[in-house]
Amino acid sequence: MEQIKGGVCAAKGFKAFGIHAGIRKNKDKKDLALIVSETKATAAATYTQNLVKGAPLYVTKENLKDGYGQAIICNSGNANTCNANGIEIAEAMCDLVEKHTGIPKTDVVVASTGVIGQPLDITPIKNAMTDLASGLNYDGSNDAAEAIMTTDAKKKEIAFSFEIGGKLCKIGGIAKGSGMIHPNMATMLVFVTTDASITPKMLQKALSADILDSFNMISIDGDTSTNDMVSVLANGMAENPIIDTVGEDFDTFCKALSAVTTYLCRQIAKDGEGATKLLESRVHGAVDKENARIIAKSVICSSLFKAAMFGADANWGRILCAIGYSGAKCDINAVDVSLSSVAGKIDVCKNGSGVDFDEDEAKKILTEDEIIIDITFHEGNGEAKSWGCDLTYDYVKINGDYRT
């Protein structure tokens, strides 16, 4: 597998573009993105578990019920959630895609992100569609990635090439996510494209399994969004032998998908609202994988621990505290904890008790912008990773006036 350029346009047959349509007041901010495949593609998606869901999720779920799609349209600046005419607006966006690209409206993934509970006017989207559709190009991933951002400070896109059945395949993705992230499915909005040939059933199987170790293992602030969605389009233009069952080819595809999603997870966590540090919690030797996941995410979700990391304070007791209330099966009296970064590694806990360590050395390690928390048990083969960020003053500032 090799990292390549191109994002959602790396795979054969995909075009994308993004523009400022006027949904957002800031004219320097793009707010409408479009991604299309030259041919109909296998499609899969996962959606937020929040009972309050954005209207676009209902429309997308209906459009993809046959397992196929061909286009993705997404606006930022307005979530189209809790609106009386939300479904009508989401369907109108699909209609506009059909009108300007010829792609059937029932083959469109529609998504929105931004403020909840604000009416979304279709007029600026309608007026921008000619320019958006005519701008579609094979190098447009960067524009699309920018157009789906809200409070994100950085664009998030990646692509890889891999081989299946002697054919070169490519897969790429873009994501947005910075706040309101504590997923029970996915996180905010993620769009993945690939030219690999795979059946709808196997694509959904791959995605549903992947999110358990990727997007479900992120937390920025403990709030699960109303508009979370991950969608994948696979148009088969790489002409590999179709993946229709488990086996070596399916495993290869899953590894490529994981490479994309794991990269985007880390980028989302690192770009958390107000964040200065990426935190990666690694659990080793847990009873099983499920308990490892519970422990890893409990630590990354702890506000007290996140605040300590902001202050570069090796307050390891907060890690054990988070493990203790996680509900996981584990022997808390036999856990080892260490903290590391590019500046070094330091042990802070052995067998559930503190060990002497150099506070100045710990401070040096924790001042870096990527911190690894290694949590080791000796009870089984369960391993898991989770990602988050530190909790800073700026997080409160950003969300104190997010709407106004």
For the record, the structure tokens of 72 come out as 């993705």
In terms of DSSP H, where are the helices of 166-214? Answer: 200-213
Helix (H, G, I), strand (E, B) or coil at 78: strand
**Single-letter amino acid, residue 108:** V
Q: Active-site positions?
A: 187
Question: CB within 8 A of 261, min separation 6: which ones?
Answer: 173, 190, 192, 210, 211, 214, 215, 230
The span from the CA of 165 to the CA of 109, in Å, is 29
Give the torsion sign (CA, 101, 103, 105, 109): negative
| CA gap 308, 286 in Å, rounded | 25
HSE of 40, CA atoms in CB hemisphere, 13 A: 14
C-beta of residue 22 within 8 angstroms of C-beta of residue 150: no
DSSP helix/strand/coil, 202 = helix
Give the residue among 141, 56, 61, 136 at the shortest CA–CA distance from 91: 56
| Structure token digits, residue 87 | 């479904």
| 102: CB partners within 8 A, 6+ apart | none
What is the DSSP track for 273-338? TT---EEEEEEEEESSHHHHHHHHHHHHH-HHHHHHHHTT---THHHHHHHHTS-----GGG-EEE
Local structure of 93: helix, strand or coil: helix
Question: Under a CB-based contact definition with an 8 Å cutoff, are residues 357 and 347 in contact?
Answer: yes
Q: How far apart are CA 188 and CA 191, in angstroms?
A: 10
Distance (Å, whole) CA 129 – CA 19: 10
